[in-house]
């Protein structure tokens, strides 16, 4: 992550990076702005690995560093199937993948932080072949949805998800309605399912939920985020100094990195908002009572093991957990994605049947090994 704590040293680092003006932001960064203007230009900075890691881990920004290329491919085309209408007039574009004939199940699929509706194009094609329809929207603040780049707030994300779920239920009254989320999208659904007015869903699939709340962070990370939010909430950050592997599928990361819908610079206040959401999702785990399948990969470098283990332990006993030792954060885009995708398809068809991959015994073994 780029600089989170913005004080004298950070003002110097911003100048060292070549800036001649303080980055755009709200008026309450005036103290830091004056400090910045007083500092002389110095030699190029060294990246701050801790700060860089915080932005990368919180936002799920994979960055271009994960796939070094001498020549980047052209950006993929932007595909839109329609838009969900929200009560406030906002329209959230979506992509859809439909099976031949009437679907046995319909999935509302919510993407992760800084991603878009394109997040689901790899697994959705498999789901459609299995008779499962997928509707993947841009969540508010992301992709081509209103407020791109600005955090919309937990309440707005949850309310939008409820509205979209209700829309699909009315459109497909005879099909099973499954709410599926990846990373941030899974955190939104955890809050939705445990809120005062959950939608009429038949089940939830939660892939690598973003549950790295403050309770699982060390004090330095919490303090850095608190200070940065107070001093420069509009400062835009990237995860460029840090190399994290989000998937074993290099082509999928290139696709994500070149997608014009992907957000590549994250405001500090958006990071703060994401952490608030992760706090809420972690707190929601003990109250989660809806039928659900939780999935996590052994090579996830974005959501720490400890945070996932704390969430899984807090879940009621009846919730299903699946662990994939070779899986990364973007489980459904990995080279080994057939195993989790097959498990999801089997669970949607029959939530009571064992998962074909054997990921549930692996989950029990993994959880027992966590401190």
The predicted model scores a pTM of: 0.83
Whether the predicted pLDDT of 308 surpasses 50: yes
Q: Which two tokens stand for residue 265?
A: 């610079």
Concatenating the DSSP letter of every residue in 6-29 gives -SHHHHHHHHHTT-SSPPP--GGG
Residue-wise pLDDT tens digits, 317-337: 889 999 999 999 999 999 999
Indicate the SS3 state at residue 1: coil
Given a cut of 90, whether residue 292 has pLDDT beyond it is yes
Tokens of 226: 């608190």
Rounded Cα–Cα distance for residues 56 and 112 (Å): 13
- DSSP string for residues in 288-332: --S-EEEEEETT-SSS-HHHHHHHHHHS-TTSEEEEETT--SSGG
Q: How far apart are CA 224 and CA 160, in angstroms?
A: 30
What residue spans of 130-284 are helical by DSSP H?
154-171, 184-193, 219-231, 250-258, 268-284
Please provide the CATH number assigned to the domain covering 82-212+280-369.
3.40.50.1820
DSSP notation for 340-356: HHHHHHHHHH-TTSPPT
- 3 state DSSP class of 203: strand
The pLDDT assigned to 235 comes to 86
pLDDT above 90: percentage of residues in the chain:
66
pLDDT, average across residues 50-64? 43
For the cut 80, the answer to whether the pLDDT of residue 281 exceeds it is yes
Q: Locate tokens 């089940």: which residue?
A: 203
**Average pLDDT, whole number, for the chain?**
83
For residue range 184-243, list pLDDT tens digits in order: 999 999 999 999 889 999 999 999 999 988 887 888 888 888 888 888 888 888 766 567
Looking at residue 303, what is its pLDDT?
Answer: 92
2-6, 138-142, 162-166, 204-208: range with lowest mean pLDDT: 2-6
Quick one: 7 exposed, middle or buried, by C-beta within 10 A (0-12, 13-18, 19+)?
Answer: middle
- Burial string for 93-127 (b: 16+ CB within 10 Å, else e) reads bbbbbebeeebebbbbbbbbbbbbbbbbbbbbebb
Question: Where are the chain's structural domains?
Answer: 82-212+280-369
Of 8-22, 305-319, 331-345, the range with the lowest mean pLDDT is 8-22
Residue 63 clears pLDDT 80, i.e. is over it: no
Q: What pLDDT, on a 0 to 100 scale, did the predictor assign at position 71?
A: 60
Candidate ranges 27-31, 143-147, 255-259, 301-305; pick with highest mean pLDDT: 143-147
């Amino acid at each position: 992550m780029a600089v989170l704590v913005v004080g004298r040293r950070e003002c110097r680092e911003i100048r060292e990076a070549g800036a001649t003006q303080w980055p755009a932001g709200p008026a309450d960064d005036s103290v830091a702005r004056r400090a910045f203007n007083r500092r002389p230009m110095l030699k190029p900075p060294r990246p701050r690995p801790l700060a860089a890691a915080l932005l990368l881990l919180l936002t799920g920004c994979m960055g271009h560093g994960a796939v070094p290329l001498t020549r980047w491919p052209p950006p993929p085309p932007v595909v839109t199937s329609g838009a969900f209408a929200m009560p406030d007039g906002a329209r959230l574009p979506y992509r859809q993948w439909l099976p031949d004939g009437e679907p046995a199940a319909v999935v509302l699929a919510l993407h992760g932080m800084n991603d878009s509706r394109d997040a689901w194009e790899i697994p959705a094609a498999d789901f459609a072949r299995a008779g499962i329809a997928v509707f993947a929207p841009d969540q508010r603040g992301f992709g081509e949805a209103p407020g791109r780049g600005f955090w919309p707030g937990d309440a707005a994300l949850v309310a939008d998800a409820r509205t979209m779920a209700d829309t699909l239920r009315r459109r497909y009254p005879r099909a099973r309605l499954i709410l599926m989320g990846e990373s941030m999208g899974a955190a939104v659904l955890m809050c939705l399912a445990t809120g005062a007015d959950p939608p009429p869903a038949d089940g939830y699939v939660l892939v690598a939920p973003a549950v790295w709340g403050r309770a699982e962070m060390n004090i330095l990370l919490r303090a850095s985020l608190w200070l940065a939010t107070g001093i420069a909430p509009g400062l835009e950050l990237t995860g460029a100094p840090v190399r994290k592997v989000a998937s074993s599928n290099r082509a999928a990361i290139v696709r994500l990195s070149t997608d014009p819908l992907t957000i590549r610079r994250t405001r500090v206040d958006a990071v703060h908002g994401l952490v608030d959401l992760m706090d809420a999702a972690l707190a929601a785990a003990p109250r989660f009572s809806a039928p659900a399948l939780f999935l996590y990969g052994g090579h996830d470098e974005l959501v720490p093991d400890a945070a996932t283990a704390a969430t899984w332990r807090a879940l009621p006993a009846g919730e299903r957990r699946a662990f994939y030792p070779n899986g990364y954060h973007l489980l459904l885009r990995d080279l080994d994605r057939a195993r989790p995708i097959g498990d999801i398809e089997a669970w949607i068809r029959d939530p009571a049947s064992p998962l074909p991959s054997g990921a549930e015994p692996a989950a029990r073994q993994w959880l027992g090994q966590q401190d």
